Structure 1
Amino acid sequence: MSKTQVKNEIALKGIGVSPGIAVYTCRLFSPQTEKAVRRSISADEVPVEIARFEEALIATHEQIKHIQKQVAEVLGDEHASIFDAHILVVDDRTFIEEVIRSIKNELINVEPILQTVSNRYAEMLSKMEDSYLSERAADIRDVTKRILANLAGETIDRMKQVKEPCIVVAHDLAPSDTASIDRNLVKAFVTDLGSSTSHTAIMAKALEVPAVVGLHNITAVVSPGDLVLLDGAKGLVFVNPSEERLEEYRKRAEEQQQIRSELESLRDKAPETLDGYLVPITANIELLEELDGVDARGAKGIGLFRTEFLFLGAEKLPSEDEQAEAYIRAAKSQYPSPVVIRTLDLGADKMPVGFENPDELNPFLGDRAIRLCLARPELFKTQLRAILRASVYDNVRMMYPMVCCVREVRDANTLLRQCMMELSKEGIPFNQDIQIGTMIEVPSAALIADIIAPHVSFFSLGTNDLIQYTMAVDRGNENVAHLYTPTHMAIIRLIDHVVNVSHKYGLWTCVCGQMASTASFVPLLIGLGVDELSVSPSQAPLIKDVIRKLYYSSAVELAQKALNSHSAEHVERLCHDLIRTIAPEILELSE
Structure 2
Amino acid sequence: MTFTLHGQAVSRGVAIGRAVLAAASRVDVAHYFIAPQQVADELGRLRRARDTVVEEIERLRQGLAHDGVEAHAELAALLEVHLMLLQDEHLQDGVKQWVLERHYNAEWALTAQLEVVARQFDEMEDPYLRERRADLEQVVERLLRALRGESSPLAAAAPAAGAGGEPLVLVAHDLSPADMLHFKHGVFAGFVTDVGGRTSHTAIVARSLEIPAVVGVRNASQLIQQDDLVIVDGDAGVVIVDPSPMMLAEYGYKQRQGEVEREKLTRIKNTPAVTLDGQRIELLANIELPEDTLPALAVGAVGVGLFRTEFLFMGRGGKLPDEEEQYDAYRRAVEGMHGLPVTIRTVDVGADKPLEAHRRDDHLNPALGLRAIRWSLAEPAMFLTQLRAILRAAAHGKVNVLIPMVAHLSEVRQVHALLAKAREQLDRRGAVYGPVRVGAMIEVPAAALAVRLFLRHFDFISIGTNDLIQYALAIDRVDESVAHLYDPLHPAVLRLVADTIAAAQEAGKPVSVCGEMAGDVTLTRLLLGLGLRSFSMHPTQILPVKQQVLRSDTRKLRAWAQQVVASDEPALLLAD
Q: TM-score normalised to the size of structure 1?
A: 0.75
Report how far residue 136 of structure 1 moved: 11
- 1:293-326, CA deviations, whole angstroms, 9 ceiling, x for partnerless residues? 3333122122122334455578986554554455
Q: Which of 13, 17, 22 in structure 2 is aligned with 1:24?
A: 17
Q: Report the 3-state secondary structure (helix = DSSP H, G, I; strand = E; otherwise coil) of the residue aligned with 2:523.
A: helix
Instruction: Give a deviation string over 1:204-235, Cα, whole Å, max 9, x none.
Output: 44553322345566445544344433332234
Question: Does 2:4 align with 1:12?
Answer: yes
Distance 2:31 2:562 in 1: 68
Matches within 5 A, 1:246-285: 246=248, 248-285=250-287
1:183 alignment counterpart: 184
The answer to whether the 8 Å contact 1:512/1:533 transfers is: yes
In structure 1, the residue matched to 2:360 is: 359
Are the equivalent residues in 1 in contact too, given 2:35–2:103 (CA < 8 A)? no
In structure 2, relative to structure 1, the CA distance for the partners of 1:286 and 1:111 (3 Å cut) is closer
**C-alpha deviation, 1:342, in angstroms:** 2.0
* Whole-Å separation in 2 of the counterparts to 1:241 and 1:466: 40
Aligned residue for 1:474, secondary structure, equals coil
Secondary structure in 2 aligned to 1:435? strand
Deviates more, 1:367-376 or 1:386-395: 386-395
Counterpart residue number, 2:64:
none
Structure 2 gap segments, 5+ residues each: 62-71, 163-167
2:235 is matched with 233
- Which of 165, 169, 174 is equivalent to 1:167? 169
Q: Is the 8 A contact 1:441 1:466 kept in 2?
A: yes
Question: Partner of 1:455: helix, strand, or coil?
Answer: coil
Indicate the SS of the match to 1:519: coil
Q: Which of 345, 349, 356 is the matching residue for 2:348?
A: 345
Superposed CA offset, 1:372-402 (max 9, x none): 3323333333332333344456733222122
- Give the count of matched residue pairs: 553
**Cα distance, 1:513 vs. partner?**
1.1
CA offsets, 1:55-107, max 9 Å, x none?
4598479859987997995275799599979979956959975997596xxxx
Larger Rg: 1
1:212-267 CA distance string (max 9 Å, x none): 34556644554434443333223444445566655554443332222112112222
Q: Could you say if the C-alpha distance between residues 321 and 236 of structure 1 is closer, same or farther in structure 2, counting changes exceeding 3 Å?
A: closer
- Written as runs of structure 1 = structure 2, the 5 A alignment for 1:295-444 is 295-310=297-312, 320=323, 323-324=326-327, 326-332=329-335, 334=337, 337-347=340-350, 356=357, 359-360=360-361, 361=363, 362-392=365-395, 395-424=398-427, 430=433, 434-444=436-446
> Could you tell me whether the CA contact under 8 Å between 1:457 and 1:507 is conserved in 2?
yes
1:154 maps to 150
What are the within-5 Å matches in structure 2 for residues 137-152 of structure 1? 149-150=145-146, 152=148
CA RMSD of aligned residues (A): 4.8
CA deviation string 1:320-366 (max 9, x = no partner): 455445545544554654322222334467667xx657534455544
Amino acid at match of 1:182: F
Q: Percent identity?
A: 35
Contact 2:90 2:315 in 1 (8 A): no
Distance 2:177 2:331 in 1: 34
Contact 2:269 2:543 in 1 (8 A): yes
When residues 11 and 370 of structure 1 are mapped into structure 2, their CA distance, relative to the original with a 3 A threshold, is same
Alpha carbons 2:74, 2:204 under 8 Å: kept: no
Q: TM-score, normalising length from structure 2?
A: 0.77
Which one-letter code corresponds to 1:446 in the other structure?
Answer: A
The residue that corresponds to 2:75 in the other structure is 74
SS at match of 2:536: strand
Question: How far did 1:518 drift?
Answer: 0.8
1:509 aligns with 2:511: yes
Gap regions ≥5 residues in structure 1: 1-8, 104-108, 578-591
**Alignment correspondent of 1:453:** 455
> Residue 25 of structure 2 contacts residue 153 of structure 2 at CA under 8 Å; is this kept in 1?
no
Distance in 1 between residues matched to 2:73 and 2:52, nearest whole Å: 15
